[in-house]
Amino acid sequence: MDLLGFPLVEVRPTPYGGRGVFAASPIPKNTVFFSCPGPYAFVIDRAFRKEVCSQCFAYAFDAGRRTWNIKHDAAGACFCSDECKTAWMATDRIAGEKVFKVMETLFKGKRLGREGFLPPPAEISLESINEAWRHPPALHKFAPMSELEHDSARFIASGVIQRANNPDSWPDLLQLQDNELLFTQLHPEMLESHLYIGVFVAEALRIAGIVVDFDVLATARCLLARDYGNVFGLYEEKDDTEMFGFAIYTTASLFNHDCTPNIKKTRDGRALAFRTLRDVAAGEELCISYVEETDSWEKRQARLQEWWFFSCQCAKCHRDEAAAK
């Protein structure tokens, strides 16, 4: 697979975990060998909305400010500059603006939401998940939705709008690893939440009068299936400690994990850039670290299992596991 024409890298199968990204030729230390211009779908968490520019993700605190005050109140977005607001409004997000407005109104007025919680199916299998999506729950009038669910709904809505505006990019999203079954087996209670999120987004599009030529609920399901295990946290650029949202970048999610990574990602506005941490030989796999490398083997494995559903096969983990026995 071609990584958007970046000549230093190629995508190939690995013996341990699906595809990986490999150096096609030697790459010297400190080379930015790949970058991804912007996310397919993203959300700025409600709690951070006033502090993060919805267009370029600039963090107000990094600029010595508490909040950004150029706003699009109805759609729940803030901007660091008029240029960013104009860019957000003028491009293909016009449909998005309408959908986000409707979603804000429904959420703030508690106009549509869920009533209580249903128990998950007794056994989580692909069949029981399919069956649940065939019979999604109805939204209730004047029922609340949690802030977390609404943030997830905004994330899914941004992906649905992306598909509507750029149909050619949908296959890029679809080729990401589908983690629906593994995720639902670990978190069965989330199945119902995902169904509500899908129904909520479909209803928001309907109320906004946005007609698309694909099934919104099925699209929401595809996005949710690829969200866990593929998304990147959006962190502020200075210290990389405060996470204010999350985003899915199609090609960037092809990098596997290693507890001794040879590359590092950095966010540059909307873009993600990948840089070598040491000289890399031709044919070596290029891996980032999904977790804190200095944590114990047990802690790293637990986190990778919980959030990425795999047991790490890197050399350091094999060494640490052998030492622990």
Ligand X SMILES: C[S@@+](CC[C@H](N)C(=O)[O-])C[C@H]1O[C@@H](n2cnc3c(N)ncnc32)[C@H](O)[C@@H]1O
Residues that bind ligand X (CB under 6 A): 16-20, 176-177, 229-230, 253-254, 256-258, 308-310, 312-314
Nearer to ligand X by Cβ, of 28 and 283: the residue is: 283
> Least distance (Å) from ligand X to the CB of residue 310?
4
**Residue environment code for 64-93, b if the CB has 16+ CB neighbours within 10 A, otherwise e:** eeeebeebbeebbbbbbeeebbeebbeeeb
Which of 131/306 has CB closer to ligand X? Answer: 306
* DSSP H stretches of helix in the chain: 82-90, 94-108, 126-134, 147-165, 170-174, 180-186, 190-208, 216-227, 297-308, 315-324
Q: C-beta of 179: minimal distance to ligand X in Å?
A: 7
The residue (of 235 and 255) whose beta carbon lies closer to ligand X is 255
Which single residue is written with the structure tokens 């590359």? 263
The DSSP bridge partners found for residue 112 are: 141
CB-wise, 105 or 266, nearer to ligand X? 266
Give dist(CA 235, CA 241) in Å, integer.
6
The candidate with the shortest Cα–Cα distance to 246, out of 30, 16, 45, is 45
Smaller CB separation from ligand X, 256 or 262: 256
Q: Nearest approach, Cβ of 170 to ligand X (angstroms)? A: 17
SS3 165: helix
For ligand X, the closer CB: 6 or 61: 6
**Distance in Å, CB of 212 to ligand X, minimum:** 27
Shortest Cβ 252–ligand X spacing (Å): 9
Least CB distance to ligand X at residue 283 (A): 17
> Is the CB of 154 or the CB of 257 nearer to ligand X?
257
Query: What minimum distance in Å lies between the beta carbon of 232 and ligand X?
Result: 9
CA dist 85 and 72 (Å) reads: 8
Contact 181, 124 (CB under 8 A): yes
CB closer to ligand X out of 14 and 81: 14
- Pick the closest to residue 286 from 247, 312, 260, 249 (CA basis): 260
Nearer of residues 38 and 136 to ligand X, judged by Cβ: 38
Contact criterion met (CB below 8 Å) for 43 and 245: yes
Q: How far is the CB of 43 from ligand X (least distance, A)?
A: 19
* Least spacing, CB of residue 312 vs ligand X, in Å: 4
C-beta of residue 98 within 8 angstroms of C-beta of residue 209: yes
Residue 149 near residue 195, CB atoms below 8 Å: no
Percentage helix, strand, coil, to 5, in the chain?
40, 20, 40
| Six token digits for residue 84 | 């960013």
DSSP β-bridge partners for residue 22: 10, 285
